[in-house]
C-alpha cells in the first residue's frame, strides 16, 4: 500500500509500534530516553526510538515539536511517523530539524483503521511512501 507523504525523510525498515491511545509528546515522551512517560497511557514505558510509530491521534501540549526535534538530534526519534491526519504541532519538529541540518524520519498519512494490520510487523517504507509488511 502507499501512504501520502506529509514530510519527506529517510526510507526505512523497522518494527511498527501502533499506539492504542492518542499521546502528547510533551509530558508523554521522555526526550532523553525515547520512552513513553505518560503513566496513564496504555503503552507507558515502551520505547518509540527506531520504530515506525503509528499514532491514532495527538493531544495536549503545543511543545510536541520541541520534543520531536530533541529526539531527532539525539538519534532517539522513531524511524518513521504514521499519522491519521496531518498534525502541524508535532511535524514542525521535523521541518525545523531539516532547517537545522538533521536527517529526519519520514512522516506519512494513513487511515488509523489500517494500523491494525501493522501490529507486531516489520514495515519497509520506501522514499515514495509505499509500505510493505514482512
Told to check if 103 binds other proteins by CB under 8 A, we report: no
For the bound state, the minimum distance from the C-beta of residue 121 to other proteins, rounded and expressed in Å, comes to: 27
Q: Which is nearer to other proteins, 113 or 134 (CB)?
A: 113
Told to check if 49 binds other proteins by CB under 8 A, we report: no
Catalytic residue among 24, 47, 61, 63: 61
Told to check if 106 binds other proteins by CB under 8 A, we report: no
116 vs 69: CA distance, rounded Å: 28
Told to check if 43 binds other proteins by CB under 8 A, we report: no
Q: Which is it for strands 106-109 and 80-83: parallel, antiparallel or unpaired? A: parallel
Site string for other proteins, 69-98 (x = CB under 8 A): xx-xxx-----------x-xxxxxx-xxx-
- Angle formed by the axes of helices 88-99 and 64-73, to 10°? 40
CA atoms within a 13 Å half-sphere pointing along the CA-CB vector of 104: 25
Told to check if 59 binds other proteins by CB under 8 A, we report: yes
52 vs 50: CA distance, rounded Å: 7
* Residue 61 annotated among the catalytic residues of the structure: yes
For the bound state, the minimum distance from the C-beta of residue 10 to other proteins, rounded and expressed in Å, comes to: 18
Question: Where in 1-134 does DSSP place strands (E)?
Answer: 4-7, 12-18, 52-55, 80-83, 106-109, 122-125, 131-133
Residues designated as active site: 61
Amino acid at each position: 500500500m502507499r501512504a501520502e507523504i506529509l514530510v519527506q525523510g529517510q526510507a526505512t525498515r523497522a518494527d511498527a509500534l501502533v499506539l492504542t491511545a492518542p499521546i502528547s509528546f510533551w509530558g508523554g515522551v521522555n526526550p532523553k530516553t525515547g520512552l513513553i512517560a505518560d503513566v496513564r497511557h496504555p503503552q507507558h514505558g515502551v520505547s518509540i526510538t527506531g520504530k515506525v510509530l503509528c499514532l491514532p491521534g495527538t493531544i495536549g501540549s503545543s511543545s510536541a515539536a520541541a520534543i520531536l526535534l530533541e529526539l531527532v538530534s539525539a538519534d532517539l526519534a522513531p524511524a518513521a511517523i504514521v499519522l491519521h491526519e496531518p498534525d502541524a504541532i508535532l511535524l514542525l519538529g521535523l521541518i525545523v530539524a531539516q532547517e537545522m541540518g538533521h536527517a529526519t524520519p519520514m512522516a506519512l498519512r494513513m487511515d488509523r483503521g489500517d494500523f491494525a494490520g501493522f501490529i507486531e510487523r516489520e514495515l519497509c517504507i520506501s522514499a515514495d511512501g509505499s509500505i510493505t509488511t514482512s
